[in-house]
Amino acid sequence: MSFQGGEHAAGQVTESVAEAVAALRPGTTKDWAGTTARGLTWSCRATAEHIASDLIAYAGQLAGRAQDAYVPFQITIDGTEGGLDPADNAGTLQVIETTGALLAAAVRTAPRAARAFHPYPFRGAGREGFAAMGVAEVLLHTHDLTEALGLAYEPSPAHAEFVLRTIFPHIQPDADPWRTLLWATGRGELPGRAPVTEWRWNNNLVLPAGRLVLEGLTPAAATDLTAGGDGGFRWIEGGPMDGTRVAAGLLLKAYIEGVLRPQFGVFVLVRAEDDLAVGGIGFHSAPDEDGRVEIGYDLVESARGQGYATEALRALADWALARDDVRSLFATVEPDNAPSQAVLTRAGFQRVSTDPGPSHGQGAGADDGHGHGDTDELYAYELLPTTR
pLDDT range class, residue 346, cuts 50, 70, 90: very high
Return d(Cα 330, Cα 294) in angstroms, integer. 5
CA torsion 293-253-4-275 (nearest 10°) is 20
Report pTM.
0.92
pLDDT of residue 79: 61
User: Is-contact 182 173, C-beta < 8 A?
Assistant: no
Give the C-alpha distances (Å, rounded to integers) separating 273 from 113, 127, 145, 279. 11, 19, 46, 15
311 or 372, which is more confident? 311
Model pLDDT, residue 360: 43
Q: Go through 135-144 and write b for each residue having 16 or more CB atoms within 10 A of its CB, e for each that does not.
A: bbbbbbbbbb
Find which of 87-91, 182-186, 197-201 is predicted with most confidence, using mean pLDDT. Answer: 182-186
In the predicted model, what is the mean pLDDT of the chain?
91
Question: What share of the chain in percent tops pLDDT 90?
Answer: 86
- Output the CA angle 304-309-311, nearest 5 degrees: 130
Beta strands at 276-283 and 234-235: parallel, antiparallel or unpaired: parallel
According to DSSP, the β-strands at 379-383 and 115-116 are unpaired
List of domains in the chain: 5-184 (1.20.120.450), 206-387 (3.40.630.30)
pLDDT at residue 204 above 50?
A: yes
**pLDDT higher than threshold 90 for residue 87:** no
Structure confidence by residue, pLDDT tens digits, 292-331: 999 999 999 999 999 999 999 999 999 999 999 999 999 9
Q: Nearest-5° angle of CA 316, CA 319, CA 324?
A: 135
Query: Of 92, 163, 111, nearest to 134 (Cα)?
Result: 163
The 3-state DSSP class for residue 206 equals: strand
Query: Confidence band (pLDDT; 50, 70, 90) for 77?
Result: confident
Give yes or no for residue 370 having a pLDDT over 50.
Answer: no
pLDDT of the residue at 315: 97
